[in-house]
Each structure stands twice: as structure tokens, then as C-alpha cells.
Structure 1
């Protein structure tokens, strides 16, 4: 049993307790509608507002079957910036939307100067896999067709999974992404070893939670080998964009970052993995109250800025 009393500091414990007060650990035992209500209320409690100078526009991408809501964040210098960011939010493929990561995207925009476009992809169980993947692919095609800036992919948790899946699917695209920043992503790693074992009962996210989200997203169907569902299932890791993976030590998903980095490097690509000591899944919401999370968010901003400039 991992001793989290020594791994996690007081600031992070305060964040965990505050989160649990709004989003109890047993929330997955509620109905999907109840889970969404609880999650949305929690996100409102942590909302940090917009930085000065950021303008926000909510719009939509039209497809042949439905519209995909998006939110566009810009600064006065975004037109002159090196890149634009497509951001895919976390939430286990069943939670979240434009509001859940609203302030995160606004701050990423303000601190990089890049235009950030947040994508409100369809959620399970109403829309099973590959609905979310199809939506983020459509968002990529929209960006490739309407934006002159190079495209950088960024996502946290479920959104990190989707960002990686887009990178794998667009390797032959003339506007393929110039980089990807994956924040505690779930990439479909081996659940019999690594952090899946040592942090199976971590605060904020457990292996039981992961099994629940996977079952809901896939409708209970076995889809082994599907790289659009689990990018680590791909057999080819060549020609992927330069990648930065940032994971939390106290998170069953952390080993996915290490495994994905190793696969890209072994295929001759560029990838860097940072495992943030003592942090937990979902720590983006702690970036203003926890020193370790604040430092990690700066690392995320710096990585986004660097990849956008081709370095």
C-alpha cells in the first residue's frame, strides 16, 4: 500500500479535501446526470476567472450531422503568435465541456499569447466511441482549413488521449500538428504494472474509476488494438510530432506517460516526460493554491510556448 502521507504535501491534501467536498470519491456510483451536475458545480467552485487582455468567443464547427461547440481565446498579439492551440478537456469522456476548463484555456492563452480553441466534443454514454474522436478530428480539419498558424495539440486526462489519437491519425496530413502537450493523459497502458499497481487507490483517481470510464466510453465492447481509443495500442510510433508528457506521481495513469515517451523515442522521435512529484490527477485546478501545481502549470505553459515555436 502506497503511503500518501509522505508523498503528498499539506497544500495538496487541502486541495484534495476541497475537491472531495464538492466531488466525493464515490461519485461514479451516481447516475451520469448526477455525476455531471456534481462535476459542473465543482468546476464552478474552482473557476479562477479570465486574465486581463483575453477575449473569448463561443462558436461552433458545422459538420454534416451536428455542430461542435468551440470556445476561442485570443489576445491582441495572437495574430502574430507562432502557433495556435487546439485544447481537448478532461472528464473521463462523460463529463466536462467548454465551461469545465474555461479558465485553464484562458490562462494558457494569456501566458503563451497563442490563440487557444477549446473543443466541446460529444460525450458518452449518449455518444459512444468513436464519437469524441470524430469530433476532435473534425476540429483539427476545421483548424487546418481556417487557420494559417501551425497547429499545436493540448489536452488533459481524456483530452490528452484524444490529442494523442489525433496526432497518430494526422501524420500524413499536410498541416499535421507541430507538437502535442499531454497532461496526465490516459493512453491505454498496461494495467498489470507500474503506476496502475502502485497507485491503484490514489486520491482523486483510482483504477476502479478508470475501468468505469472505459466501459462507458466503449459501451462495454472489447476494442483492443484500436489506436483511436488507446494510442498506446498503435504499432507505429514513427513520425509523431514532438511531444511533452506531464503526469502526476500519485496517479494510476502516470506510467502511460513514460511508456508513450519510450515508444516515440524508440521510433526515432522526440518526446519528453515529466512526472510531477507528489501531485494527483486533476491538479490543474490547484495551480493557484498548490506550489507544486503552480510550478507544473508553468512547465505546461513553457512547453506549449516552446513547441509552438518549433523548439
Structure 2
């Protein structure tokens, strides 16, 4: 397959966002030590971080033994779990603090952000186990049907948790933002966008090896939801794909499997956007429009 022409696909404001990101978090960051990767990632997130909207109560406390940050608007009735991205290696409560705060403010939802354990110190299934425990505890504490959401690695965790909780918890929906769900790396977007800005095919392979401490499992839905053999009984799914991203096909493949099993699932393509665009929602018009579409879909799920 021919590589994509990013000079045509990506507009000026998005290129400016890419260059600003690379100024803090270089394209070859995976070549740094784990400590070095976390240091540059945290600095990059801090450079893009926006002030929290006013009117939220924000509390740090453990849910199911997992450190969490809880954003509560006045009168919140709906609760949403949020699992942050970062390749299972970087990120935490601060990296996505403004994203979670803005989601809570704009939707009126209580948002519970989980600080799951990272690899390589804690290989799979540590992150999955943490997200599962935090979700169960949040459901017990706040009641009602939860929405599960996450970006990138966090989107993968949200889907796997939803699969694991079928028949145990009532879930209102899933919202997945440029998730990696375990698609076929030999074809489709994994090849046409193998050298995409912000995330390459080689990056995805690196993160997967780190996550599993070696060769990844071939049929483990707790690691990759697309490896499941049963897609029935899932809550409604809305999955967003960034066009210029090796992972772009995964939301569409996943939604098709959910629909084939009798469920409700929608996959949406964000034209000209790249992996990690959430941090550009205040500087890139395309990203702002995509974020607004996410907020609208969240309200619809509730």
C-alpha cells in the first residue's frame, strides 16, 4: 500500500500542533529510558494543559484500591470512568486532568479518572486489573449505569473492561478515542499510516512489547478487545478514529463486530487529525470540532 501524503491530509493548524508537541516530546522518544519518556511526556502535557473550568469539585481518592481523581459538577447524575492514554507506559492523573475536567463541565457528568499501574514495572494484566477494580468500586459507590471512556491505551482498557463486565454491571455506553484494539498490523491503516506523525507502526509494536514484557498474547480480550470471540451483550459504542493514525481502522473493525453481534456501535473518522489530537482541542479548529462531537455523543449516550 502506498504511504499517505500528509502534506495534503493535514492542515496548517494541525501541523503547528504537531511541531509544538515534538518540541516537548520528540518523535524518537521511545528511544529514551522509561524515566526519560515519562519526564518529557509530563512536560509536554503540562505545556498544553488548560485551567480547569470553575464550578467543579475535584477530589483525589482510591476506588477499589486504585488512585483516582473525581470531577463532580453540581447536580451530577451520570458517572463516567475515564482511562488515560500513554501507551500503558506514560501518563497519569495530571496528564489528562484538563481533558477530564472539561468533559465533566461540558456534560454535567461525574468523571472518575483512574491512575492505573504502568509498565514495564507492572506488565499486563496490571493496568486492566486496576481499571476493572476501579470501575467496580465506582459502580458500587455511585450507583447507576456507568459510561466507560478513554483515549488510545485508555480506549483499549475501556473496551476490555466492558467485555469483562458483561452480565455483572449495567453499563450505559462506551466512548473510545483513537483506541488501539488489536487490529491486523499487516494491512489497512497500520500500513498506509505506518509512518504517521505522532504515532508510527513501530511505536505501536514497541508499546505492545513493553506492555507484555515480550511477545503479546494472541487471544486475550483483556489485552485487546478485537481478540475476543464474542461481541454480544455490550453497551452502545461510539468510537473515534484519527485519520492519520496507524490505529485508524480499529474503531471501524470493532464497531462492525459489535453490530454483527446485534449491538449498537458507531465509528467516526476525524479527517486530517493525528493520534493525540486531544491536546490540540484549544489550538486546532479540526480538533475543537472533533472534541465538540465527542461531547455531543457523550450526552447522547447518557
TM-score (norm. length: structure 1): 0.95
Is this contact kept in 1: 2:208–2:216, CA < 8 A?
no
CA separation in 1, counterparts of 2:118 and 2:131?
Answer: 12
CA separation in 2, counterparts of 1:209 and 1:252?
Answer: 10
3-state SS of the aligned residue for 2:171?
A: coil
Match of 2:156 among 156, 161, 165: 161
Shift of 1:27: 0.3
CA separation in 1, counterparts of 2:237 and 2:195?
Answer: 28
Is 1:142 paired with 2:137?
yes
- The answer for the alignment partner of 2:293 in structure 1 is 299
Is this contact kept in 1: 2:69–2:93, CA < 8 A?
yes
Is 1:128 paired with 2:128?
no
CA separation in 2, counterparts of 1:143 and 1:54?
Answer: 18
- The answer for the alignment partner of 2:233 in structure 1 is 239
- The answer for the alignment partner of 2:19 in structure 1 is 17
- The answer for the alignment partner of 1:60 in structure 2 is 62
Match of 1:266 among 260, 266, 278: 260
CA separation in 1, counterparts of 2:216 and 2:129?
Answer: 19
- The answer for the alignment partner of 1:191 in structure 2 is 185
- The answer for the alignment partner of 2:29 in structure 1 is 27
RMSD over equivalenced CA pairs, Å: 0.8
- The answer for the alignment partner of 1:75 in structure 2 is 73
3-state SS of the aligned residue for 1:96?
A: coil
Residues 10-57 of structure 1: CA deviation (Å, up to 9, x unaligned)? 000000000000000000000000000000000000001101211211
Q: Which runs of 5+ in 1 are unaligned?
A: none
Superposed structure 1 runs of 4+ greater than 2 Å apart = none
TM-score (norm. length: structure 2): 0.98
CA separation in 1, counterparts of 2:228 and 2:177?
Answer: 20
Match of 1:255 among 231, 246, 249: 249
Residues 90-115 of structure 1: CA deviation (Å, up to 9, x unaligned)? 00001000000000000000000010
Shift of 1:303: 1.0
3-state SS of the aligned residue for 1:254?
A: coil
CA separation in 2, counterparts of 1:307 and 1:188?
Answer: 25
Shift of 1:188: 0.3
Is 1:176 paired with 2:170?
yes
Is this contact kept in 1: 2:124–2:211, CA < 8 A?
yes
Is this contact kept in 1: 2:209–2:216, CA < 8 A?
no
Residues 214-264 of structure 1: CA deviation (Å, up to 9, x unaligned)? 000000034100000110000000111100001100000010011001100
Is this contact kept in 2: 1:97–1:120, CA < 8 A?
yes
3-state SS of the aligned residue for 2:7?
A: helix
Residues 47-97 of structure 1: CA deviation (Å, up to 9, x unaligned)? 0110121121111135xxxx311000011121xx3x210000000001000
Shift of 1:150: 1.8
What count of residue pairs does the alignment treat as equivalent? Answer: 300
Is this contact kept in 2: 1:167–1:176, CA < 8 A?
no
Residues 123-146 of structure 1: CA deviation (Å, up to 9, x unaligned)? 000000000000000011101211
- The answer for the alignment partner of 1:37 in structure 2 is 39
CA separation in 2, counterparts of 1:8 and 1:31?
Answer: 31
